[in-house]
Copies of this chain bind each other. A is one copy, B any other.
């Protein structure tokens, strides 16, 4: 059963009225109402205003803000304000501030500044959350609790070190187990005492970002930090639950942000919410992938698009405007991928502070007479009319991609084979090829059990460096049961301590893939390798017989029980396998040893789709088709033109139906205007 997140479609975003004069508030509300806005996320950065000292709290301003919103029947996402600690607290209790990777404790400033293991922070942050819950639980229109904001920075202070050592004691029991897990005899790192353990930072074992003497240790520190941050969330959640048993509690995530294992954090969240800030030159597939990842973090349930900019950002090198219609189509893209809300940062531009040039519904011009306001209002009207209908649908996928934060970290710390080998890029390369065929994808954790894997016709695990206990078995069972599995260079090579499996790459997947990789050549940018594509064992795969380019790496693969589907056609390994497929039980395991170019990836996606019987739909560049499926069995088809050119779409018969927006019939060939879209009820 998939339920709509809320009982209406919330369309709103961050509103910080405590930053401007109270005389403006009502004007804001009226303008927002004109735009169809029905939700406000408040209290995100008010800790210092709410709590002037250790034992003093003042909710009067917030009371008035809440009352105004309630009076106007706005939904309220109530933040707990704990992302930025008050200046007085930093001064009187310096432990509350984080210490950077040089172990220098910062003084008050910036924003995501608390040490997650600070006793002061752990005392006052949940206390504030509790007081807020005590006061505002039951407020009419209370949509969700929003803990902190964009959790982030790691800390390297003495409190963290002590907590880390305790964490290690708990995890490993003995120092010898630590030595074994971390492979400490390397470079003479043998430990005899818990107290020998230092934090891995610039004064020690992570002398430059991504460099680590012992990746096992560095990955453990990341686990510890990720969990420390999660515990800050849990602290606040627990405090809130004392007074409010039902309102969903969330914190806003940042898609592929490396420092937190969102699958782990997500388990503690009632609802996933995230902030989408694509760069002006992101392809639509990059944004789509992030949506799917966030949906995956929530186990496939609908999620909140907590923040997006109505037009421009302020913190990128070139803060280009979203083109007319682009905000709308990006909002629909979110909905098509599973979002049940559309929210902005921010409802009004502030006139000071570092984000004063960040886009907003109400701009510095302070008028409704702006393109952005009109577009927001147009979307508001649409969502008012149709938003409810969009909510609650599943995104059924025949394909899953494993996304694993620990493999992300392992790749980050991998010294060799190439600096160009980056985890998210590797994932996106495969995602994009599927996306170009309008194949819907679930992003799943690598530890997904076999019976859940069995839902998918294909499971891809690009660069899944780390194979945690049970994973290889689950994948094996999945394939034997008829699944298609895809491993690539660096997949499967290491255990949960980032220690490499002997016997040839892809290590844990070697038997399954029926191949072993002998060496991994690193290809400098000026030296790609040629790859000749085979038919992949399926009839009619596009590109078969063609020669394409491989880049970044070239793994020299030996087929054992597998069949070669692509071969290198240049360099000394010309003739060796670049990709293989292995039949195992009722399924197949693919192994790909180089980063194929777009044509090569299209070939591979085509081979996989034909082999796995995946539904593909051809659409022009920029055009994306997604389907949300509702518990009552009906489906909505979203046809989105993410680009600035008119595109001719030829809709398959079975995706044709009635336009939700205007009731007309949509079928066959039609022109889709720039940033245009159709929503079709089947």
Contact = CB atoms under 8 A, between A and B. Distances in A.
Contacts of A518: 363, 365, 370-371
A364 B500 contact: yes
B104 A203 contact: yes
Given A46-B188, A195-B91, A367 B504 contact: yes
A372 B419 contact: no
Interface stretch (A206-214, A267-275, A588-596, A627-635): A206-214
Contacts of A321: 519, 521-522
A328 to B, nearest CB: 14
A416 to B, nearest CB: 3
Given A47-B188, A204-B109, A320-B522, A505 B87 contact: no
A295 B29 CA distance: 52
Count copies of this chain in the complex. Answer: 3
Nearest to A498: B352
Contact of A416 (B86, B204, B312): B312
A34 B605 CA distance: 44
Nearest to A197: B87
Contact of A104 (B102, B280, B505): B102
Contacts of A493: 364
B314 A416 contact: yes
Given A312-B416, A519-B311, A192 B353 contact: no
B499 A415 contact: no
Given A45-B188, A48-B190, A364 B502 contact: yes
A415 B352 CA distance: 11
A234 interface: no
A233 interface: no
B418 A317 contact: yes
A186 B349 CA distance: 11
A438 interface: no
A111 interface: yes
B205 A353 contact: no
A527 B415 CA distance: 37
Given A205-B109, A415-B314, A415-B315, A365 B192 contact: no
B504 A416 contact: no
Interface residues of A, number: 115
Interface string A272-301: 000000001100000000000000000000
A420 B86 CA distance: 34
Given A205-B110, A363-B518, A183 B351 contact: yes
Contact of A351 (B87, B500, B519): B500
Contacts of A370: 518-519
Interface in A428-479: none
Contact of A198 (B108, B311, B371): B108
Nearest to A323: B572
A53 interface: yes
A114 B207 CA distance: 15
A49 interface: yes
Contact of A524 (B16, B280, B357): B280
Contact of A183 (B86, B314, B350): B350
A585 interface: no
A45 to B, nearest CB: 4
B352 A500 contact: yes
Interface string A202-241: 0111010001111110000000000000000000000000
Contacts of A317: 418-419, 524
Interface in A15-43: 16, 18-19
A420 B198 CA distance: 41
Contact of A87 (B108, B192, B324, B350): B192
A572 B497 CA distance: 53
Which of A84, A187, A420 is the most central at the interface, judged by chain B CB atoms within 10 Å of its CB?
Answer: A187
B502 A366 contact: yes
Contacts of A415: 314-315, 354-357
Contacts of A312: 416-417, 519-522
A354 B206 CA distance: 11
Given A313-B416, A418-B319, A524-B318, A188 B364 contact: no
A74 interface: no
Interface string A555-572: 010000000000000001
A352 B216 contact: yes
Given A86-B190, A312-B417, 11 more contacts: A46-B188, A106-B204, A107-B198, A107-B203, A183-B350, A183-B353, A186-B352, A312-B521, A317-B418, A321-B522, A365-B518
Interface of A: 16, 18-19, 45-49, 52-53, 81, 83-88, 91, 102, 104, 106-111, 182-193, 195-198, 200, 203-205, 207, 211-216, 280-281, 311-321, 323-324, 349-358, 363-367, 370-372, 414-420, 493, 497-505, 507, 516, 518-524, 527, 556, 572
